[in-house]
Amino acid sequence: MQRRKIFRVTKKEQWSNVTILFDLSSPVSKLRRTVHHDHKYQSSPTIIRRRLFDCEQRLKEKEKKIKLQKRKINRLQKKV
């Protein structure tokens, strides 16, 4: 039985990290590309607070809508 060996070669680029996996028992080498997008998700505290406020407002609106729907369902159930 032949033992499988895996060699990892990592090449770092400016925006991505490329990892190539070579498997000696397989004639085909596997390529796995991982892209790091951390630079796009760094937000300022002001933007985070604004998004939080917007999300809270949307949540309140949805809760009001659900409350009205429940009332309507209760009224219809009482009629039946």
- Asked whether the beta carbons of 6 and 21 are under 8 A apart, the reply is yes
pLDDT tens digits for the chain (80 residues)?
455 555 454 444 444 444 445 445 554 444 455 555 555 566 788 888 898 999 999 999 999 999 999 999 999 999 88
- Asked whether the beta carbons of 22 and 29 are under 8 A apart, the reply is yes
Prediction pTM value: 0.44
* SS3 state at 11: strand
Residues contacting 31, CB < 8 A, separation 6+: 18, 20, 21
